[in-house]
Structure 1
Amino acid sequence: MKHKQRLFKFLYSKSFAMNLLRPIHYYTWVNSHSIGIHQAKLA
């Protein structure tokens, strides 16, 4: 039972980290995307 708890805690912390990183990843993706569009307009 203790091993199961540890596994659950590990999975929970992993998903928590993913939830933290997701907005940052999305923001950088949108940023690079808009920069690419901006550069295409300038070219």
Structure 2
Amino acid sequence: MTVLTMLLTVISAALDGPPDSRGIRLARSLYLAALLPVVLLAA
């Protein structure tokens, strides 16, 4: 759980940048993929 939360923090930091860049889209998809297990573990 802690590792997933840290991963979300790192990805959030990576979201700073031009809104239409390819890296931002990748970071957003990784963020959503990492958020799902956190939500499931917290439930």
TM-score of the aligned structures, taking structure 2 as reference length = 0.49
Identify the structure with bigger relative contact order (alpha carbons < 8 Å, sequence gap 6+). Answer: 2
Mark the structure with the bigger radius of gyration.
Answer: 1
TM-score of the aligned structures, taking structure 1 as reference length = 0.49
Of Structure 1 and Structure 2, the greater helix share is in 1
